[in-house]
Amino acid sequence: MALITCAGLSLGYEGREIIKDLNFTVSGGDYLCIVGENGSGKTTLMKTVLGLIPPMAGSVVMGDGLKAGEIGYLPQQTQVQRDFPASVREIVLSGCQSRQKGFFYKADDRALADRNIERMGIKDLRDRCYRELSGGQQQRVLLARALCAAGKMIVLDEPVAGLDPRVTAEMYRLIEDLNKKDGITVMMISHDIGAALRYASHILHIGRRVFFGTKEDYMSSVIGREFISQGGEDR
Amino acid sequence: MSAVFAKLALYLTYPFVRYALIVGVLIALCSSLLGVTLVLKRFSFIGDGLSHVAFGAMAAASVLGLTSEMPLVLTVTVICAVLILRVGQNAKIKGDASIAMISVGALALGYMLMNIFPTSGNVSGDVCTTLFGSTSILTLTPKKVRLCVVLSLTVTAVFILFYNRIFAVTFDEGFATASGTNVKMYNLMIAVIIAVIIVLAMNLVGSLLISALVIFPAVSAMRMFRSFKSVTICSAVISVVCAFLGIIVSIIEGTPVGSTIVMVNVAAFAASCIAGRYLGGV
Ligand SMILES: Nc1ncnc2c1ncn2[C@@H]1O[C@H](COP(=O)(O)OP(=O)(O)OP(=O)(O)O)[C@@H](O)[C@H]1O
Ligand SMILES: [Mg+2]
């Protein structure tokens, strides 16, 4: 059984439908890229899959022993209040929440948080206040947090937005490592169609026309060829 | 100066003064803990609304002639806290409108009850006492002291145990949900804790001034510190110190307890603003 099965899924806000009758599955070990234009409903789809907003019709079923607690999520933007006092380390540690058995973090939770802080190259920002960081630095903090929570699956909404080229490359390598070496299933929204085609195993294209299938099928499909030739602009 | 200390030493030999200090400090401690969460989640108005509900319940309890009004007030306030949270999630009635409806309704009902069934000749005095606390902290019975101590220690213990979860839910509900935290339940828990704190704090400062006790220490601490943990600890310290000083001053000078504590908190806020400017955040 697949990790996530979406059947006849319709989604939107307050009675206004954005996507109708969507069907796709994500199996263990997949690397799924979701592509589409601005406003086509990618973020909404991701939130619906994660159960943050209810579907308008259809169903999202989690299977294969995937529990909500094993998903690391990188939101596109967090509505962190302007004056929230929180250090980088406190935020990354909060990603260990789902692993936390008792009430408090254990030594291995702390070690995991520190490892991911190091991975994202934000070790010297560890004790800084989150709201005083630059956009790219904040993005890395949230990535480190998502990595802590990614037991079986990681769900990323535009992970490289705001990152410099070096960290972007690093990021893609890291995600690939997670997927290939640790067997973590990846679901990622990206406007970087080149990277999507390089790393993904499956593509979900949403917009006026919808496509779901393997990368190879997408590249030979009409919709895929058009989208790619226009550098990621739906017509 | 020594005359002041002599007077203080004399007062401290009275059990009711010691009770007041113990209860005051404990209530101040637990009401400051959730302040940060309330301010950041834009829940501060829930505290305000609930304090009016507590006022209404208090009025009802005194009309009914209950000997100990705390259990009734506590039950009603907790139920209203849960209701406000539930209704707030329902998009049909907007959150703040529903809070205003419940709280103003309770306020009007309470005042009405106190006028129709006056328990003493001095209705406006009674109303004033309930709204501003006046001297009630000095007239606590040992039974009520015990209840206050147990409740505030429970709130503090629950807060410490769930500190990490409360942080996660306050910081980012979406991420917390995705990584398997039962956000609804923790929001409910936060609402229940707020209700308990409101009822407790009502004994200390009266129902109109409760918000000050919850919000001032948190906002002062946020002026000086930049991490959640240090802000939480600092606001607890500020709150306890202010309550202690406020009670002492009010005993010596004979000023109303509630407003004295709030004035000390205002002074602490001003001091924090200045300190924050020079520290530049720690
Ligand atoms: N909270 C909301 N309430 C109502 N409508 C919304 C809300 N959030 C988004 N929308 C609408 O839903 C549509 C899809 O938005 P969504 O954020 O899912 O797009 P997206 O594909 O992620 O775009 P982008 O590439 O810019 O991130 C948009 O038309 C947007 O206006
Ligand atoms: Mg989006």
- CA-to-CA distance for B243 and B199, rounded, in angstroms? 17
A229 within ligand 1 shell (Cβ under 6 A): no
pLDDT reported for residue A204: 92
A44 within ligand 1 shell (Cβ under 6 A): yes
Residue-wise DSSP of B64-131: TT-S--HHHHHHHHHHHHHHHHHHHHSSSS-HHHHHHHHHHHHHHHHHHHHHHS-SSS-HHHHHHHHH
Domain boundaries, position B157: 2-279
Residue B181 to residue A129, Cβ atoms within 8 A: no
A76 within ligand 1 shell (Cβ under 6 A): yes
- For the cut 60, the answer to whether the pLDDT of residue B281 exceeds it is no
pLDDT reported for residue B157: 94
Predicted confidence (pLDDT) per residue in B82-109, tens digit: 887 776 565 555 556 777 787 888 888 8
- Chain A window 5-64: which residues touch B at a Cβ cutoff of 8 Å? 14, 47, 50-52
Paired tokens of B199: 């009822």
Q: Residue A8 in 3-state DSSP?
A: strand
* CB half-sphere exposure, A221, CA atoms < 13 A: 16
CA distances to A95, A126, B10, B41 from A148, rounded to whole Å, are 5, 15, 58, 25
Residues of B in contact with A83 (CB under 8 A): 40, 222
Residues facing residue A6 across a β-bridge: A24, A60
Give the global pTM. Answer: 0.85
Nearest by CB to A95, from B177, B179, B229: name it: B179
CB of A88 closer than 8 Å to CB of A130: yes
Residues of B in contact with A155 (CB under 8 A): 178
What average pLDDT score do residues B185-195 get? Answer: 88
A10 within ligand 1 shell (Cβ under 6 A): no
Predicted ipTM? 0.85
pLDDT reported for residue A68: 61
Q: Residue A155 in 3-state DSSP?
A: strand
- For the cut 90, the answer to whether the pLDDT of residue B135 exceeds it is no
Paired tokens of A50: 């994660």
- For the cut 60, the answer to whether the pLDDT of residue B26 exceeds it is yes
pLDDT reported for residue B11: 81
Confidence of residue B126 (pLDDT cuts 50, 70, 90): low
Paired tokens of B72: 């009734």
Ligand 1: nearest atom to the Cα of A37: 25
CB of B54 closer than 8 Å to CB of B199: yes
Predicted confidence (pLDDT) per residue in B141-151, tens digit: 788 888 889 99
CB of A89 closer than 8 Å to CB of A117: yes
Residue A85 to residue B227, Cβ atoms within 8 A: yes
CATH of the domain at B271: 1.10.3470.10
- CA-to-CA distance for B59 and B56, rounded, in angstroms? 5
pLDDT reported for residue B99: 74
Our mutation pick for probing the ligand 1 site, out of A11, A42, A78, counting the most ligand atoms within 8 A of Cβ, is A42
CA distances to A70, B2, B33 from A64, rounded to whole Å, are 12, 75, 41
Mean pLDDT for chain A? Answer: 86
For ligand 1, atom 2, the nearest C-alpha belongs to: A13
The CB density around residue B134, as the number of other CB atoms within 10 Å, is 19
- CA-to-CA distance for B151 and B157, rounded, in angstroms? 10
Ligand 1: nearest atom to the Cα of A12: 12
Total count of domains within chain B: 1
- For the cut 60, the answer to whether the pLDDT of residue A234 exceeds it is no
- CA-to-CA distance for B6 and B127, rounded, in angstroms? 35
Residue B178 to residue A86, Cβ atoms within 8 A: no
Paired tokens of A68: 């909500």
* CB half-sphere exposure, B15, CA atoms < 13 A: 5
Our mutation pick for probing the ligand 1 site, out of A14, A43, A191, A233, counting the most ligand atoms within 8 A of Cβ, is A43
A63 within ligand 1 shell (Cβ under 6 A): no
- For the cut 60, the answer to whether the pLDDT of residue B23 exceeds it is yes
Q: Residue B43 in 3-state DSSP?
A: coil
Longest C-alpha distance within chain B, in Å? 62
CB of A77 within 8 Å of a chain B CB? The answer is no
A65 within ligand 1 shell (Cβ under 6 A): no
Predicted confidence (pLDDT) per residue in A111-125, tens digit: 999 999 998 888 899
Nearest by CB to B222, from A80, A83, A93: name it: A83
Confidence of residue B187 (pLDDT cuts 50, 70, 90): confident
What average pLDDT score do residues A140-166 get? Answer: 88
